[in-house]
Amino acid sequence: MKLPGFALALLIAVAAAGVLFYERQLLELRAELEQTRLREAQATAALKARSERAAAEARMMSERAAAEARAMTSRRIHVLLVDDEQDFRDTVRERLEMEGHRVVSLGEPAPAIEAAREKRFDVAILDIRMPEMDGVTLMARLRELQPGVEVVMVTGHGTIEMAVDAMRKGAYHFLTKPLKLSELLVTLGGAYEKSVLRREAALRKQEAKHRQPHGDIVGTSSAMREVALLVEQVGPSDATVLLEGETGTGKELVAHAVHSASKRADGPFIVLNCAALSETLLESELFGHEKGAYTGATTSRPGLFEVADGGTLFLDEIGEMSLAGQAKLLRVLETGQFRRLGDVKELEVDVRVIAATNRNLDEMVRTGKFRQDLFHRINIFRIVVAPLRERREDIPPLAEHFLARHARGEARKVLSPEAMASLVAYDWPGNVRELANIMERAVLLSRGSLISPDLLPIGTSTTTQAAPAEAPLTLREAERRHITEVLAAFRGDKAAVARHLGITLRHLYRKMKKYKLAPQE
């Protein structure tokens, strides 16, 4: 049967439309399949990158833990061991001496007190139950004689209550018999480290007694007088302080002056540069970690919040901290509580925090790079430390201060009038740190007592206070030109350039990127 011509044409058109529809469907399916494959490839690449970053960080932390373990075995710890069980004392003494440590082993508290009068100990291992005197009382007597000694309590009759009481009264750790000697060695290493930090804090306290009211801050300008006034106002309180200023302006000295003016002056002053560590390492430094918290963590270690308990923790370059790290820091500032990595136990500390930055935190808050709640928490009292170019009257006393410091033991060094004039005219992109470095170099190169301008390698970006022959450079152009000249002088050795400018290598790279300077420049 033949179809009419129009019907046949219609049938062919429908068939063609169907073919086109299915071809379009096939193309769409192929495109979707390609998109799916692309997303899977991207996800696989991202997962691989994360895995590689995690592996690299784990290797870094493992290497650090291994270094700590090697350091622990290489140092000689002076140990006082007091226990009324002879066999226990002999076993522990023999093992500690095998590790290279020096041990005084005694069976009664009275001879231990006499030994502490005659000899310095790093760590005391005490039995908590002894007939003549209990370990907690003996710990108090030892601390009267040696405030820096750390104490590890040991007993065969341990209870949680006894452990809590001993640690509340100042014991570093509490172990129960029978002991694992490997565990004792780990605990001993942690106690020794804390003992060293205690003694360093005590030394700083003694040095602080002989310092000027504002520490090593030198300057008579109105800007520095304002800083000194603010230090006096905020020092006696426990308020968190935010220090702002360019790199090298002396923010750490101001932080130490705040600490010295506070009721915490006898406590530790601990410094941490937040820009120097990765996010995970920074968390470990701040909060500490337990044994096994990460690959290679073979020892427990207290964090800097624990070490700074009763004192001040200075967080430099806080603007470099990650958002995740900022959230954890905020919790400690609000509650005083935190956990070590790998531990569930809450620790509580009494620490004053002083933060510093060379970045614009207000702008970082607006762009979402810094938490607003943390900013408000640390910005209770703000002190701005002016750059050296804005307080040129401080340059002569600072230069003389650094000359006297670096010429210690040598004949007195004096700057010629021309040399002093060139220092005052220079713009100091590296601020006080750069001035200190240049004065040290001048002392090393000088043959006599007089220091002339040729011993001051401060480039040609100086400006004079007399009328210049050409239009003055902008600050940006002056800094760019100076960095370019120093790079050329040191033939592109960026580490040497950073040292010469008195800034960190990381800061130098940021400056080079900002001014689009090639390495050969």
DSSP line for 351-380: -EEEEEESS-HHHHHHTTSS-HHHHHHHTT
CA atoms of 281 and 304, how far apart (whole Å): 12
pLDDT, residue 69, reads 46
At position 449, the amino acid (one-letter code) is S
CA atoms of 218 and 174, how far apart (whole Å): 47
Answer whether residue 164 shows pLDDT above 80.
no
Answer whether residue 361 shows pLDDT above 80.
yes
Which one of 110-124, 285-299, 364-378, 456-470 scores highest in mean pLDDT? 364-378
pLDDT, residue 179, reads 83
Lowest-pLDDT range of 55-59, 406-410, 475-479: 55-59
Answer whether residue 18 shows pLDDT above 60.
yes
Q: Are 187 and 173 in contact (CB under 8 A)?
A: yes
pLDDT, residue 460, reads 43
Query: What phi and psi values does residue 315 have, to the nearest 5 degrees?
Result: -100, 100
pLDDT category of residue 356 using cuts at 50, 70 and 90: very high
Alpha carbons within 13 angstroms on the beta-carbon side of residue 341 total 24
Better pLDDT: 42 or 437: 437
Better pLDDT: 200 or 211: 200
Lookup: tokens for 64: 């650090």
**Residue 423 CA to chain centroid, in angstroms?**
32
**Residue 380 CA to chain centroid, in angstroms?**
22
Summarised one tens digit per residue, pLDDT across range 303-320 is 899 889 889 999 999 999
Burial of 250 (0-12, 13-18, 19+ CB in 10 A): buried
pLDDT, residue 212, reads 46
Lookup: tokens for 224: 């520095």
pLDDT, residue 521, reads 39
pLDDT, residue 19, reads 61
Summarised one tens digit per residue, pLDDT across range 271-287 is 999 988 888 788 888 98
Answer whether residue 362 shows pLDDT above 80.
yes
Average pLDDT rounded to a whole number, residues 479-499? 75
Helix axes of 86-98 and 181-209: crossing angle, nearest 10 degrees: 70
SS3 content of the chain, % helix, strand, coil (to 5): 55, 10, 30
Summarised one tens digit per residue, pLDDT across range 90-145 is 999 999 998 889 999 999 999 999 999 888 899 999 988 888 888 889 999 998 88
Neighbours of 454 (CB within 10 A): 11
pLDDT category of residue 48 using cuts at 50, 70 and 90: low
Answer whether residue 464 shows pLDDT above 90.
no
pLDDT category of residue 8 using cuts at 50, 70 and 90: low
* Domains, in order of start, for the chain: 78-202 (3.40.50.2300), 216-386 (3.40.50.300), 389-514 (1.10.8.60)
The side-by-side arrangement of strands in the sheet containing 78-82 is 102-106, 78-82, 123-127, 150-155, 173-176
CA atoms of 196 and 199, how far apart (whole Å): 5
The per-type count for the chain, helices as H runs and strands as E runs, is 19, 16
CA atoms of 105 and 102, how far apart (whole Å): 10
Which one of 263-277, 380-394, 453-467 scores highest in mean pLDDT? 380-394
Q: What angle do CA 351, 355, 359 make, to 5 degrees?
A: 165
**Residue 447 CA to chain centroid, in angstroms?**
39
pTM of the model: 0.53
Q: Which is it for the CA torsion 224, 229, 230, 231, positive or negative?
A: positive
Write the CB contacts of 458 (distance below 8 Å, at least 6 apart in sequence).
422, 423, 426, 438
Lookup: tokens for 194: 């804390």
At position 199, the amino acid (one-letter code) is R
pLDDT, residue 311, reads 92
Q: Are 245 and 387 in contact (CB under 8 A)?
A: yes
pLDDT averaged over every residue in the chain: 81
Q: Is 234 helix (H, G, I), strand (E, B) or coil?
A: helix
Measuring CA to CA, how many Å separate 340 from each of 59, 196, 287, 306, 349? Answer: 20, 20, 5, 10, 12
pLDDT, residue 305, reads 92
Write the CB contacts of 302 (distance below 8 Å, at least 6 apart in sequence).
190, 193, 194, 288, 340
Q: Are 227 and 390 in contact (CB under 8 A)?
A: no
Lowest-pLDDT range of 111-125, 286-300, 318-332, 416-430: 286-300
In terms of phi and psi (left: phi > 0; alpha: psi -120 to 50; beta: otherwise), the region of 98 is alpha
pLDDT category of residue 427 using cuts at 50, 70 and 90: very high
Q: What angle do CA 90, 184, 116 make, to 5 degrees?
A: 65
Better pLDDT: 292 or 282: 282
Answer whether residue 66 shows pLDDT above 50.
no
- Supply the DSSP string of 272-305, one letter for each residue: EEGGGS-HHHHHHHHHEE-TTSSTT--S-EE-HH
Contacts made by residues 182-185, CB under 8 angstroms, sequence distance 24+: 184/92, 184/95, 184/125, 184/152, 185/72, 185/95, 185/96, 185/99
